[in-house]
Amino acid sequence: MSQDEWTDEENALIVADYFAMLADDIAGRPYNKAAHRRALRSRLNGRTEAAIEFKHRNISAVLRDLGETWIPGYFPAANYQASLIRAVLNWLDQHEDWLELTPAVPLHVREEGLWIGPPPSLSNQPPVEPRSLLTHEPHFAHIVDVAARDERNRKLGRAGEELVLQHEWTSLRSAGRADLARKVRWVAKEDGDGLGYDIESFTPEGHSRLIEVKTTNGAERTPFMITRNELAVARERKAEWRLVRVWDFRRTPKAFELVPPLDAHVSLEPTSFRARF
């Protein structure tokens, strides 16, 4: 083992410390990064504070690539080792409730509606960064499927749908269309999944809006899952169908809206197949 390579025990210690700070950060509780680094030094193998700080930045990069929120003060440094991915995933496996923690619909959204901005484009793409094992190395592709994990997290998905539902009510009432607001339906909850959209709403002019909601805790470019049926409805009813992408949900929920055809905005990659006899 090289002098710079971190042991599994060291990785487990610093990952646990990182999540302790992240929990405080999300909750708005004060914490001291320097104090955390100093406390860690006595438990690690002679690591400098600079090395510890850089490792914290590596953890931010892993969480970003997992589609999770990270500590803003530790900007992601992507050249991390595979052992750090395993350490982060091990911590998450041991704390399953972490991925299920979702805030209530914020008061400002209830009163003013959800902030919906422009979708990502080539003009606002992030700068090129060093290659990360998680997103570029084929032999690590099996470790985690970011979008699939968020898709399985139904609690997060439902919370995002409720957020958009509240936004539709608020927007229509603000436009003087309380009559239409009363007709907005959360079809995914009332009728079940499978229709190809989650919310049935309206424009202020009374035109139908069929809204599919996709929610993640990660940044705006975090991958998300979309079903074959949702794509079919998007094609068949493209004048009505809209995809509302909610991101940064755990901290300050924001959103953007995509209009069909979806392949004009995103790259659609098949991820599973049905086997039939």
Beta strands per DSSP E along 204-271: 208-215, 241-247, 254-258
Domain layout of the chain by residue ranges: 1-101, 138-264
| Contacts of residue 119, Cβ cutoff 8 Å, sequence gap at least 6 | 220, 245, 256, 257, 258, 265
Q: Tell me the C-alpha distance between 250 and 71, whole Å.
A: 12
Q: Tell me the C-alpha distance between 109 and 106, whole Å.
A: 5
pTM of the predicted structure, to 2 decimals: 0.76
Tens of pLDDT along the chain (277 residues) come to 445 789 999 999 999 999 999 999 988 899 999 999 999 998 998 899 999 999 999 999 999 888 888 999 999 998 888 899 999 988 988 887 776 655 566 666 666 768 888 888 755 555 445 455 555 554 455 556 555 555 556 778 898 999 999 999 999 999 999 999 999 999 999 998 889 999 999 999 999 999 999 998 888 888 888 989 999 999 999 999 999 999 988 888 899 999 999 988 888 877 666 666 6
* CA-based nearest residue to 254, from 126, 118, 98: 118
Q: Tell me the C-alpha distance between 155 and 238, whole Å.
A: 28
Q: Is the dihedral of CA 257, 260, 261, 262 positive or negative?
A: positive
Per DSSP bridges, beta strands 241-247 and 254-258 are antiparallel
* Second-level CATH architecture of 138-264: 3-Layer(aba) Sandwich (3.40)
Q: Tell me the C-alpha distance between 162 and 105, whole Å.
A: 8
